[in-house]
Amino acid sequence: MTFVDVGDGVALRLRQGGEGPAVILLHGHPRTHTTWHRVAPLLAQDFTVVCPDLRGYGQSSKPPPDSAHHAYSDRTMARDIVRLMEELGHERFALVGHDRGSYVAYRAALDHPEHVTHLAVLDGVPIVEALERADAAFAQSWWHWFFFASPHAHRVITADPLAWYQPDRDRMGQENYDDMVAAVSDPDTVLAMLEDYRASLHVDRAVDEADRASGRRIRCPTLVAWSAHDDLEDLYGDPTLIWARWCSGPLSGAVIGSGHHMAEEAPGQLATTLTDFLHA
């Protein structure tokens, strides 16, 4: 485990291993890089695998929030990832992002196409597409998006973070569980994670809208994978139909036989799906 300075006073904690083409795995909320502990060793048989904590998450730096939410915007986090990989000597790399990490991943593919060879988005659609479809079903299932933007969320969550997040030690594995518990028990980490969501409702949505209007598209091969036992397909039908409007390069889809935290619940299937995609 190490820390890498990516500029602007921000250092990202990470682990890396393996040999071959570079692939970086980006976790979701409220996880850290340790969520990949069952997937990364399988991918490392064929690839150089880099697993960081996103800024604000885990033990990575937590810069102060700003009123416009740029400090935790996807564009800012995507720039962190490109700088990180450059510092590690990787000018070109594949990106895999789950949940919140998927937003950072597709933003990096749009903003930095010269660096991204492949993109895999797991359990996600573009933020603007989700918000434009925010009907009663979405509000019932994903109410936390809007609660996190409220001024009350930090106080409520930090009052009893384990009651809020309810991590499952048996499913997660001990080290992964311990790392997440340490993260969510830190009020500064909780604030940073909330700022990530607040950015989605403001600056991230606006950036998505501008890209869509200008016709910017993801040019690299893209895999969209979703969990069979989560609600993405219930909300949107086939998510690849949404992503097709954002991609000019090859696009494929896959269903993972798991709940939302697919890297912890179906690591073998996920690793095989990603390996096949990255080798294609």
Question: Helix/strand/coil (H, E, C) string of the chain?
Answer: CEEEEEECCEEEEEEEECCCCEEEEECCCCCCHHHHCCCHHHHCCCCEEEEECCCCCCCCCCCCCCCCCHHHCHHHHHHHHHHHHHHCCCCCEEEEEECHHHHHHHHHHHHCCCCEEEEEEECCCCHHHHHHCCCHHHHHHCCHHHHHCCCCHHHHHHHCHHHHHCCCHHHHCHHHHHHHHHHHCCHHHHHHHHHHHHHHHHHHHHHHHHHHHHCCCECCCEEEEEECCCCHHHHHCCHHHHHHHHECCCEEEEEECCCCCHHHHCHHHHHHHHHHHHHC
pLDDT of residue 184: 98
pLDDT of residue 180: 98
**Does the active-site annotation cover 99?**
yes
Q: What is the mean pLDDT of the chain?
A: 97
pLDDT of residue 19: 97
**Does the active-site annotation cover 260?**
yes
Of the chain, the percentage scoring pLDDT greater than 90 comes to 98
Express each pLDDT in 145-204 by its tens digit: 999 999 999 999 999 999 999 999 999 999 999 999 999 999 999 999 999 999 999 999
The domain made up of 2-279 is a member of CATH 3.40.1160.10: no
CA dist 29 and 197 (Å) reads: 10
CA dist 271 and 267 (Å) reads: 6
pLDDT of residue 280: 87
Label residue 24 by pLDDT band (50, 70, 90).
Answer: very high
What's the rounded mean pLDDT across residues 123-151?
Answer: 94
What's the rounded mean pLDDT across residues 119-132?
Answer: 98
Q: Given the residues 53, 80, 99, 123, select the one marked as catalytic.
A: 99
Q: Given the residues 70, 112, 154, 260, select the one marked as catalytic.
A: 260
Q: What is the DSSP letter of 21?
A: S
CA dist 131 and 134 (Å) reads: 5
Lateral strand order in the sheet of 251-256: 2-7, 10-17, 48-52, 22-26, 93-98, 116-122, 222-227, 251-256
| Residue 1 in this model has a pLDDT that exceeds 90 | no
| Residue 82 in this model has a pLDDT that exceeds 90 | yes
Hey, CA dihedral for 87, 183, 104, 207, is it positive or negative? Answer: negative
Supply the pTM of this predicted model: 0.98
Hey, CA dihedral for 198, 201, 202, 207, is it positive or negative? Answer: positive
pLDDT of residue 276: 98
